[in-house]
């Protein structure tokens, strides 16, 4: 596997990298155009990619003054596990495309910054190669076409001290990614995926079979499979990509312990409900203490605040930390998380909130 990077990663962080937007501009210089289009793009007309970013601008903050915040903290707790702050790393596959050290670099940065990393099934780095003692890691499962193969990955994650299983359910079929098709996107030849084939083998089609419904849909998971997996593991099972409040309720009935409200960064279904809107609908449909995580379009610490105010227990960032990875490996990922964490802390202070539990809808004005 060889990847030609147009510009080598930076050894130090230059002063012009102050924001996620700065990192985005810089990252483009470090990546081949095909990889850049893969990273940035989304499905069809990319309306959801853009609205993921735009939705935050429409939500206005309503700050409180003169409170004693000297005991302030960004700590949060999910499934009894404490995290120093609520900014987690979303599962992103094939990270060798962005930096030779791939997920190992992201994991190192996550550990140093106390960020919870969710390792993708499409990782180029073996779960066994990540530090076992680091408790801030969850494993993301793409259904492996059947129960036994899927369970084998869950069991490996258990053994490697991963603390939860995230099953991504919003992409039983890949999105229609016009941008990728225009640049003939393909993964580098020979790229290693220790936990899955790069393309999960399809059932053989007979004459007259439908390529979608008798193909990928035949090996896609259903609610029964989710309930089965949840029964087979001691780890909490979380679903990623749920947007409908009725699915949120079904998830609870099938033994799911938390949800990541997400539209996969706008990469699968275009023009779906913005995930921040879905978060508010789902928050009303589930018990108050049911963990809801959020991802999609988080680029500022104030976005973290808004997602928490609207019902999230924590947020995930996707593309932002990959910008950091492309620019400067582990150092870049760590700096991206640090930027967001500091912006979030200062937003909390300016909003008059001392703890995550203080951050509620009372601090939001929606027109
Ligand atoms: C993703 N995402 C993703 N999700 C998942 O469950 N498994 C995966 O392997 C991947 N791979 C992946 C690759 C790339 C290049 C991107 C951009 C995204 C989706 C990801 O976890 C997350 O939902 C979004 O990235 C969040 O949106 P932002 O933060 O990128 O706006």
pLDDT tens track for 175-224: 999 999 999 999 999 999 999 998 888 889 999 999 999 999 999 999 99
Domain presence at residue 136: yes
- Residue 14 CB contacts under 8 Å (≥ 6 apart), including other chains: none
Beta partners for 295? 316
Cα dist. 132→126, 159, 247, 331 in Å?
12, 9, 34, 21
Query: What pLDDT is stored for residue 349 in this prediction?
Result: 98
Determine, yes or no, domain membership for 69.
Answer: yes
Helix ranges restricted to H, the chain:
20-30, 33-40, 47-57, 102-113, 147-159, 178-182, 223-232, 245-253, 275-285, 301-309, 319-351
In angstroms, rounded to a whole number, what is the distance separating the alpha carbons of residues 302 and 290?
A: 23
272 in contact with ligand 1, CB cutoff 6 A:
no
Long-range contacts, 37-42 (Cβ 8 Å, 24+):
37/179, 37/180, 37/182, 37/183, 37/185, 38/97, 38/180, 38/185, 39/98, 39/319, 39/322, 40/179, 40/319, 41/177, 41/179, 41/180, 41/267, 42/175, 42/177, 42/179, 42/265, 42/266, 42/267, 42/270
CB-CB contact of 242 with 212 (8 Å): no
Catalytic, 99? Answer no
Nearest alpha carbon, ligand 1 atom 24: 265
The secondary element (H helix, E strand) that includes residue 192 is: none
Of 34, 293, 318, 333, the residue with max ligand 1 atoms within 8 A of its CB, to mutate for a pocket test, comes to: 318
Count of the separate structural domains present in the chain: 1
CA 20 to chain CA mean position, Å? 16
Structure confidence by residue, pLDDT tens digits, 268-318: 999 999 999 999 999 999 999 999 999 999 999 999 999 999 999 999 999
Question: How many C-beta atoms lie closer than 10 Å to residue 259's C-beta?
Answer: 28
Distance 92 CA to ligand 1 centre (A): 5
Residues 6+ apart with CB under 8 A from 130: 103, 104, 107, 119, 137, 160
Residue 156 is assigned to a structural domain of this protein:
yes
Question: For residue 308, which of 267, 271, 360 has the smallest C-alpha distance?
Answer: 360
Q: How far is the CA of 68 from the centre of ligand 1 (A)?
A: 38
**Per-residue pLDDT at 248:** 99
Q: Is 304 in the pocket of ligand 1 (CB under 6 A)?
A: no
Our answer on whether the CB atom of 140 is closer than 6 Å to any ligand 1 atom is yes
- Whether residue 210 lies inside any domain: the answer is no
Distance 363 CA to ligand 1 centre (A): 29
Alpha helices in 87-222 (DSSP H): 102-113, 147-159, 178-182
74 within some domain? yes
Q: Whose CA is nearest to atom 1 of ligand 1?
A: 92
DSSP 62-113: ----S---TT----EEETTEEESSSEEEPP-S-GGGT-TTHHHHHHHHHHHH
Nearest CA to ligand 1 atom 4: 91
- Domain of residue 246 covers 20-199+233-366
The pLDDT, as a whole number, for residue 1 is 54
CATH of the domain at 107: 3.20.20.70
Cβ of 265 below 6 Å from ligand 1: yes
In a domain, 330, yes or no: yes
Measured CA to CA, the distance from residue 298 to residue 269 in angstroms comes to: 19
How far is residue 237's CA from residue 199's CA, in Å, rounded to a whole number? Answer: 24
Q: Identify whether 172 is part of a domain.
A: yes
Task: Assess whether the C-beta atom of 99 lies below 6 angstroms from ligand 1.
Answer: no
Report whether 83 contacts 164 (CB < 8 A): no
Catalytic residue (one of 85, 99, 193, 264): 264
Residue 97 Cβ inside 6 Å of ligand 1? The answer reads no
Task: Give pLDDT tens digits along the chain (367 positions).
Answer: 557 899 999 999 999 999 999 999 999 999 999 999 999 999 999 999 999 999 999 999 999 999 999 999 999 999 999 999 999 999 999 999 999 999 999 999 999 999 999 999 999 999 999 999 999 999 999 999 999 999 999 999 999 999 999 999 999 999 999 999 999 999 999 999 999 998 888 889 999 999 999 999 999 999 999 999 999 999 999 999 999 999 999 999 999 999 999 999 999 999 999 999 999 999 999 999 999 999 999 999 999 999 999 999 999 999 999 999 999 999 999 999 999 999 999 999 999 999 999 999 999 998 7
| Burial class of residue 8 in the structure, from the number of CB atoms within 10 Å of its CB (0-12 exposed, 13-18 middle, 19+ buried) | exposed
Residue 299 Cβ < 6 Å to ligand 1: no
Is 227 inside any structural domain? Answer: no
Q: Given ligand 1 and candidates 265, 274, 325, which is best to mutate, with the most ligand atoms within 8 Å of its CB? A: 265
Is 40's C-beta closer than 6 angstroms to any atom of ligand 1? no
Tokens found for residue 84: 């120093």
Q: Measured from the CA of 297, which atom of ligand 1 is nearest? A: 31
């Amino acid at each position: 596997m060889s990847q030609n990077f147009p510009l080598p990663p930076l050894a130090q962080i230059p002063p012009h990298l102050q924001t996620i937007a700065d990192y985005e501009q810089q990252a483009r210089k470090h990546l081949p155009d095909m990889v850049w289009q893969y990273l940035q793009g989304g499905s069809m007309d990319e309306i959801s990619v853009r609205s993921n970013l735009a939705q935050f601008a429409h939500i206005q903050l309503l700050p409180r003054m003169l409170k004693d915040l000297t005991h302030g903290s960004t700590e949060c707790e999910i499934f009894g596990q404490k995290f120093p702050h609520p900014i987690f790393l979303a599962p992103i596959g094939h990270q060798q495309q962005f930096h030779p050290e791939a997920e190992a670099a992201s994991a190192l940065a996550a550990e140093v910054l106390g960020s919870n990393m969710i390792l993708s099934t499409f990782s180029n780095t073996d779960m066994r190669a990540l530090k076992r003692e680091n408790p801030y890691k969850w494993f993301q499962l793409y259904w492996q076409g059947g129960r036994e193969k899927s369970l084998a990955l869950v069991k490996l994650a258990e053994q490697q001290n991963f603390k939860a299983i995230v099953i991504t359910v919003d992409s039983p079929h890949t999105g229609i990614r016009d941008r990728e098709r225009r640049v003939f996107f393909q993964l580098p030849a020979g790229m290693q995926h220790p936990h899955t084939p790069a393309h999960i083998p399809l059932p053989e089609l007979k004459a007259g079979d439908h390529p979608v419904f008798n193909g990928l849909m035949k090996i896609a998971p259903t609610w029964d499979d989710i309930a089965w997996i949840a029964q087979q593991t001691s780890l909490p099972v979380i679903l990623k990509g749920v947007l409908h409040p009725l699915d949120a309720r079904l998830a609870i009935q099938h033994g799911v312990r938390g949800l990541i409200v997400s539209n996969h960064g706008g990469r699968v279904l275009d023009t779906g409900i913005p995930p921040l809107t879905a978060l508010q609908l789902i928050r009303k449909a589930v018990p108050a203490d049911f963990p809801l995580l959020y991802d999609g379009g988080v680029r500022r610490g104030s976005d973290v605040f808004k997602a928490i105010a609207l019902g999230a227990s924590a947020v995930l960032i996707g593309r932002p930390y990959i910008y950091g990875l492309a620019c400067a490996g582990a150092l870049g990922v760590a700096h991206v998380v640090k930027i967001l964490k500091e912006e979030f802390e200062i937003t909390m202070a300016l909003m008059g909130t001392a703890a995550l539990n203080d951050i509620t809808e009372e601090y939001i004005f929606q027109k």
